[in-house]
């Protein structure tokens, strides 16, 4: 039985001239840039890892995939992988978009319902381990390697605390000039003006005392990096850390917080000040204490009450974490009878970075147009 099955697959492969032979990966690129590869299983192979896409759901089966090279808009070299998955036909199309500076790979996943009835499915993106998820991105170290079509929610349980933003960790960035908790040294920064956002699981509707620790070590004069600090249930506090405490001086902001919307999550965020010349917000430490307990600010600053806190976060430190569990990224998909849907992922190509969605204006149509324009102007080599 098994032999017959394999034979039929090989026949199918041989019958279509543009389909790659097993072990013969397809490539695509922009003119003059190193290529990305697609292996015979249809996985996108990059210098940082391998991106695989799977679908599960009722009526969805594991099926065969055909890998072929195609031209989009008649000029853009692309690799297409068509997979027959029972109730769904999944088509992956991959090409390089020539955005500054090194380009980005575009992975379009099209799902077509084939059996004429509505379908609930889950699309799973399986990337290499070691990626850390933001709200719409995945990172390895400081490198953005994936941009996701939407927030990862779906079937995965969130962790009980963590960041859900597109900020970056900068360990050892701050140099506090006086003795204080070691967590002041590591920060996260919202490069390009993105907010820093943390969520903490708390009893629904409960109150808490939230203390934010800040220390500015880049600017020596006031007025450069004012911040807006928001803690759910408390009035917003605007602060210019250098004006309030000085350069390299750790300081604390105290908030009487409450889970105002009763969803069992307390949201803490830091945004750039209105008209701030430096638009990159920073945050050093978060403490969350039970409401109403008297707290000595000096002891909090020195780290002597860390163990008494419900949550103590060395923002940007080794134990900091994303609220999204590591590993697979799942996206629930609802397909109506006969419907076709497409999800677009941006994938860092060799040596490149994927653009953070909130600081760039790329969409699927613009990316394809950019690729078309560069290939139209490129002299044919064949």
Residues in 308-347 at the binding interface with Ca ion, rule: CB under 5 A: 314-317
- Residue that the structure tokens 């697979």 belong to: 328
CB atoms within 10 A of CB 13: 16
Give the C-alpha separation, 111 to 342, whole Å: 6
Taking CB under 5 A as the criterion, the residue among 125, 138, 183, 288 binding Ca ion is 183
Closest CA to 289 of 320, 315, 319, 257: 257
Shortest Cβ distance from residue 217 to Ca ion (Å)?
Answer: 12
Alpha helices in 155-296 (DSSP H): 241-244
Six token digits for residue 362: 């790329």
Taking CB under 5 A as the criterion, the residue among 131, 186, 249, 322 binding Ca ion is 186
If the CB atoms of residues 115 and 261 are measured against Ca ion, the closer one turns out to be: 261
Shortest Cβ distance from residue 348 to Ca ion (Å)?
Answer: 27
Stretch of residues binding Ca ion (CB under 5 A), selected from 101-109, 179-187, 215-223, 333-341: 179-187
Does residue 216 interact with Ca ion by CB under 5 A? no
CB atoms within 10 A of CB 311: 18
If the CB atoms of residues 52 and 259 are measured against Ca ion, the closer one turns out to be: 259
Shortest Cβ distance from residue 192 to Ca ion (Å)?
Answer: 20
Exposure on the CB side of residue 199, measured as CA atoms within 13 A? 14
Stretch of residues binding Ca ion (CB under 5 A), selected from 10-18, 180-188, 329-337, 373-381: 180-188
- CB 55 within 8 Å of CB 86: no
If the CB atoms of residues 113 and 259 are measured against Ca ion, the closer one turns out to be: 259
If the CB atoms of residues 163 and 375 are measured against Ca ion, the closer one turns out to be: 163
Shortest Cβ distance from residue 239 to Ca ion (Å)?
Answer: 17
Which value, to the nearest 10 degrees, does the dihedral of the CA atoms of residues 128, 268, 307, 161 take? -30
Does residue 197 interact with Ca ion by CB under 5 A? no
Taking CB under 5 A as the criterion, the residue among 7, 261, 304, 359 binding Ca ion is 261
If the CB atoms of residues 22 and 182 are measured against Ca ion, the closer one turns out to be: 182
**Residue 25 φ then ψ, to 5°:** -70, 150
CB atoms within 10 A of CB 284: 30
Stretch of residues binding Ca ion (CB under 5 A), selected from 23-31, 141-149, 245-253, 276-284: 276-284
CA distances from 233 to 46, 206, 236, 300 (A): 44, 10, 9, 22
Does residue 354 interact with Ca ion by CB under 5 A? no
- Residues in touch with Ca ion (CB under 5 A): 183, 186, 259, 261, 263, 265, 284, 314-317
């Amino acid at each position: 039985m098994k032999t017959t099955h394999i034979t039929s697959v090989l026949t199918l492969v041989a019958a279509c001239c543009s389909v790659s032979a097993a072990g013969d990966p397809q490539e695509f690129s922009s003119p003059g840039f190193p290529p990305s590869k697609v292996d015979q299983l249809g996985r996108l192979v990059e210098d940082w890892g391998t991106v695989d896409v799977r679908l599960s759901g009722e009526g969805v089966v594991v099926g065969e995939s055909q890998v072929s090279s195609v031209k989009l808009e008649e000029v853009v070299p692309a690799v297409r992988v068509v997979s027959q998955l029972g109730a769904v036909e999944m088509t992956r199309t991959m090409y390089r978009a020539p955005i500054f500076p090194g380009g980005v790979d575009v992975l379009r996943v099209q799902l077509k319902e084939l059996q004429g009835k509505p379908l609930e499915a889950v699309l799973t993106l399986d990337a290499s381990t070691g990626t850390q998820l933001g709200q719409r991105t995945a990172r390895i170290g400081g490198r953005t390697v994936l941009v996701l079509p939407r927030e990862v929610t779906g079937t995965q349980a969130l962790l009980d605390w963590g960041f859900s933003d597109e900020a970056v960790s900068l360990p050892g960035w701050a140099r506090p000039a006086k003795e204080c908790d070691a967590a002041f040294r590591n920060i996260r920064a919202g490069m390009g003006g993105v907010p820093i956002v943390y969520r903490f699981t708390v009893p629904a509707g409960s109150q808490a005392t939230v203390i934010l620790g800040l220390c500015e070590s880049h600017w020596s004069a006031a007025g450069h990096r004012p911040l807006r600090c928001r803690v759910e249930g408390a009035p917003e506090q605007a602060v210019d850390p250098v004006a309030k405490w000085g350069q390299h001086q750790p300081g604390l902001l105290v908030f009487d917080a409450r889970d105002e919307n009763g969803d069992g999550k307390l949201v803490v965020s830091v945004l750039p000040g209105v008209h701030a010349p430096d638009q990159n917000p920073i945050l050093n430490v978060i403490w969350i204490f039970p409401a109403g307990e008297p707290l000595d600010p000096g002891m909090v600053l020195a780290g002597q009450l860390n163990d008494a806190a419900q949550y103590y976060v060395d923002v940007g430190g080794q134990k900091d974490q994303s609220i999204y569990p590591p590993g697979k990224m799942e996206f629930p998909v609802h397909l109506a009878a006969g419907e076709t849907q497409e999800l677009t992922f941006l994938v860092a190509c060799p040596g490149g970075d994927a653009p953070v969605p909130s600081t760039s204006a790329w969409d699927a149509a613009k990316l394809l147009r950019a690729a078309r324009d560069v290939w139209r102007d490129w002299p044919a080599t064949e």
